[in-house]
Amino acid sequence: MNPVNFHQMVTTLIWAGGWVCFFAGIIKLVRAYRKKADPAFSSVRNKAVKFLFSGVFLLALLAFQIGYGGVITESKSSLPAENSMAPGFMLPNQEGKTVSLEDLRGKWVVLYFYPKDFTSGCSVEAHNFQKDLPKYVAKNATIVGVSVDEPGSHKSFCAKEGLNFTLLSDTERRVIALYGSEMNLGAATLAARNTFLIDPKGIIRKTYPDVSPSHHSEEVLADLERLAAESGQDKVYGADRYSADQQKECERLTGSKCIFDLCQRAMGDTSPDNCKPGWKPVY
């Protein structure tokens, strides 16, 4: 049997077995207390409690597997290839506002898919991205997480975990399918733990299938630094990266404190020539 299909079968059995034991334990417990005067009450009650706790244990085990290690499953479609255009999307964020990939053009985008808000592995992964967020900002990169959770769940997750980056809600699983990142858990379809590093032109420069939450951010940062340097997109003209004299020169050339936005819109109505030689425009 294919290892992936075998893992799916085991996962489904754990899921089904957990709920069967849980409800069987509740039913047995109710029946036992209805016959509390019966001499066999203690024995029946103990058996019911064992069923109940077996169900809780199996469901907790499954929740840990989803949250930390992810569930290995066969995607309905393959991952988009590296060096191909990233599939476009429009999804609501944790505030209910629509965010599109086009809105993020001009920045590096770390687009990561994850199974479920509030689970252990997803929290670890999000914490690490949050911890490294200043490093991403310095490299002109933005973090975007995607799961099947509702925007309200994302908002609560961000508040609880102190997250200051974008989480998108794909309740219809369309974007997850576009990125080949579906996984099945019984009757439910969740997002697999895959990440895509997209450059400022909208091209997928690196894919990360089935990632480990613990050290993933470090891995992405290292690749981001290397790929940005190779492509010449490692310098962004901004107040946090240049001296006061350079800022004065910027003001003289453009009439504003910083021409970061002008450089960022170089593909639109603003010429890249507005960026002084040596300062890279963001295409």
What is the structure's pLDDT at 221? 97
Those residues of the chain that have pLDDT short of 50 are 1-6, 68-72, 74, 235-242, 254-283
Compute the distance between CA of residue 34 and CA of residue 146 in angstroms, rounded to an integer: 48
What is the structure's pLDDT at 37? 66
For 196, list phi and psi in degrees, rounded to 5: -130, 125
CB 85 within 8 Å of CB 96: no
185 forms beta bridges with 188
Largest CA distance in the chain: 93
Can 122 be counted among the known catalytic residues?
yes
What is the structure's pLDDT at 241? 46
41 forms beta bridges with none
Contacts of 179 (CB under 8 A, 6+ apart): 79, 80, 87, 111, 113, 194, 196
What is the structure's pLDDT at 144? 98
Homologous superfamily of 90-231: Glutaredoxin (3.40.30.10)
Domain spans of the chain? 3-69, 90-231, 235-283
**pTM for the model:** 0.62
What is the structure's pLDDT at 127? 96
pLDDT tens-digit series, residues 194-251: 999 999 999 999 999 999 999 999 999 999 999 998 877 654 444 344 455 555 555 5
**Which of the 8 DSSP states describes residue 98?**
E
Q: Which two tokens mark 240?
A: 């946090």
Please, what is the Cα angle at 146 between 102 and 94, to 5 degrees?
85
- CA 188 vs CA 4, 91, 120, 152, 169: distances in Å: 17, 20, 19, 19, 16
What is the structure's pLDDT at 57? 74
Catalytic: which of 21, 122, 158, 263? 122
What is the structure's pLDDT at 249? 57
Is the torsion defined by CA of 34, 37, 38, 41 positive or negative?
Answer: positive
